[in-house]
Amino acid sequence: MEQSRSRFPTRRRSAREGEGKAGSGKAGDVDRGDLADDVVGADSKAGFETDFETARRADAWEPFDSAEAAKSTETGAYTRSSEQNAGRSKRRADPDDSQFESEKPKRSLKGRALGYLSRREYSRVELKGKLGPYVEETDNLESLLDALESEGWLSDTRFAESLMHRRANRFGASRIVGELKRHALDGELLEQLGTQLRDTEAARAQAVWQKKFGELPRSPAERAKQTRFLAARGFSHAAISRLLRGLDDESDFSGDDAAD
């Protein structure tokens, strides 16, 4: 029993012997076995880092490459937009659509005229110019205009009054009467509307001047500027002169306006 113990030392005894050997060594001595293990460990670590960096670069996400790959793998995949576009192209090329368009009833000349008159008032000359491009060989434009006037749809008087009310708060009598003349209205009607406009010329000129300037001119240059503005709006010279002088005598204005 004792012999077996001496021949096969225990692990504790071997460890104590190993510590004794290490302590008996000189300072600065390095075990070659330990140095070899360190070298092998460093090489292994460097190799692991190299392999990890290579793998990381290989697994790096590239958005454009991924998009190209996805595009190549999804060729022929069903998408709603492509299906809708194909359906729209098919419908456009469908001959039944052209047949439907050809079978759609055309708008009559009278229907077109009533559509214009339902939006606003037209003079006979203006409506005739609007319907001219749509007149066909079977249409009689003058007879149609006569019928619209007899039925009350078309009226030069209503048109003139509507135009006067729309322009009165911005323009003078001469500007409005000139526009009415271009519609070839009756001379008596023009004279009547011109009288109404001249009666309110002073008040309308003052309202336009107040909105634009609101202050009497202090120099000849300012006076000329205000005069040009009001004259371009169609107000009479008498109304402009009285307004810019700042006169309050209505009788003086009436005499100047009559002379003008």
Residue ranges of domains in the chain, CATH in brackets: 105-154 (1.10.10), 155-199 (1.10.10), 201-260 (1.10.10)
E-state strands within the chain = none
| Helices vs. strands in the chain: H and E counts, helices first | 16, 0
- pLDDT (average), residues 176-201: 92
Mean pLDDT on 47-75 = 53
Which has more pLDDT, 183 or 257?
183
Task: Return the structure tokens found at 150.
Answer: 């007899």
| 190/90 Cα distance (integer angstroms) | 60
- H or E, element range at 207: helix 201-212
| Cα gap 119→157, rounded to integer Å | 17
Q: What are phi and psi of 119, to 5 degrees?
A: -90, -45
pLDDT in tens, 103-145: 567 789 999 999 999 999 999 999 999 999 999 988 899 999 9
Cα of 11 vs its chain's centroid, Å: 91
Tell me the CB-side half-sphere exposure of residue 17, using CA atoms within 13 A.
Answer: 6
pLDDT in tens, 67-108: 555 444 444 554 555 555 555 555 554 555 555 555 567 789
User: Which residue type does 123 have?
Assistant: S
Mean pLDDT of 160-170: 94
The token duo for 199 is: 């009666």
